[in-house]
Structure 1
Amino acid sequence: MAKRFEQNTGPSQRQQRVAELVRHALAEILARGDLQDEVLGKHVITIPEVRMSPDLKLATAYVMPLGGKDEAAVVKALEQNKKLLRQEVARRVNLKFAPELRFRRDETFDEASRIDALLRTEKVVRDTAKPAASDDDNDE
């Protein structure tokens, strides 16, 4: 009998649900200013995505300060405060174990900008432009 799930099809619904709960908890903590950190207090931080490990013990949060300024300093400040953040997430999200938190810079904005720049290159614009009507088309 063949295995039912042989391919890795991505995160389970449970992983996605827990990741979204963790994302909302982190966003609320940062928006309310519950942390007493000079760097984090100066920035509005977006958390577009959180990914959970299959055992739900590790949460990787992708973060970006509004305007993209001081990204490295913000990620470093979040890493320094991850113990307190983990405690706050555990208090707000009802899980058997509080997940360990990791913070990474969100690179989706960079990727979107790169694709947008590619789409505006001369070659792509030329290839996607409507072809001019030829004289043969007008004779009919």
Structure 2
Amino acid sequence: MKPYSRAERISGKIQQAITDLLNKKMQDPRIEMATISGVKLSSDLRVANVYITVFGDKKRINDALDGFKNSKGFIKKRIAPKLGLKYMPDLRFYYDDSFDKAAQMDELIKSALTGTPDEHL
């Protein structure tokens, strides 16, 4: 038996294919600094939730999400042959705020260790 489910294996392929596409073919300035942090595929392989990270303010994040949503057809068309699936999953893009939360936790820990309150939070 394989150690990973089919959905997990295909999620990795989708993430790699979109990352390669971002590095080579995408010319939308809204998404040039975005990174694919993960892909979660539904068990029926119909929906792929693609999580992105973007460094910047809310406007930059929203612009990047809009750029990905507007490029969804192009992305699906380019990565479909690499996946070898009967049906190409629907791509849904979300902002991954786990890095922001980790940075906040790091600041809290540092302020607790030094005993000085952090004024950024």
Give the TM-score, by structure 1 length.
Answer: 0.70
Does residue 1:22 correspond to 2:14, yes or no?
A: yes
**Residues of 2 paired with 1:36 and 1:91: CA distance?**
21
Q: Describe the SS at the equivalent of 2:103.
A: helix
How far is 1:36 from its partner?
Answer: 4.3
Does residue 1:106 correspond to 2:106, yes or no?
A: no
Larger gyration radius, structure 1 or structure 2: 1
* Residue ranges of structure 1 left out of the alignment (5+ in a row): 1-11, 127-140
Q: Cα RMSD over matched residues?
A: 2.0
Find the partner of 2:33 among 44, 47, 63: 44
Give the TM-score, by structure 2 length.
Answer: 0.80
* Residue ranges of structure 2 left out of the alignment (5+ in a row): 115-121
**Residues of 1 paired with 2:86 and 2:11: CA distance?**
14
Query: Contact (CA 8 Å) 1:15, 1:54: kept in 2 or not?
Result: yes
Find the partner of 2:79 among 89, 92, 102: 89
Q: Describe the SS at the equivalent of 2:45.
A: coil
Figure out how many residues of one structure are paired with residues of the other and give that number.
110
Q: Which of structure 1's runs of 4+ aligned residues deviate more than 3 A?
A: none
Query: Contact (CA 8 Å) 1:56, 1:99: kept in 2 or not?
Result: yes
1:8 aligned partner: none
Find the partner of 2:45 among 47, 50, 56: 56
Deviation per CA, 1:69-103, whole angstroms, max 9, x where unpaired? 51110111100110111111212211111010011
2:26 aligned partner: 35
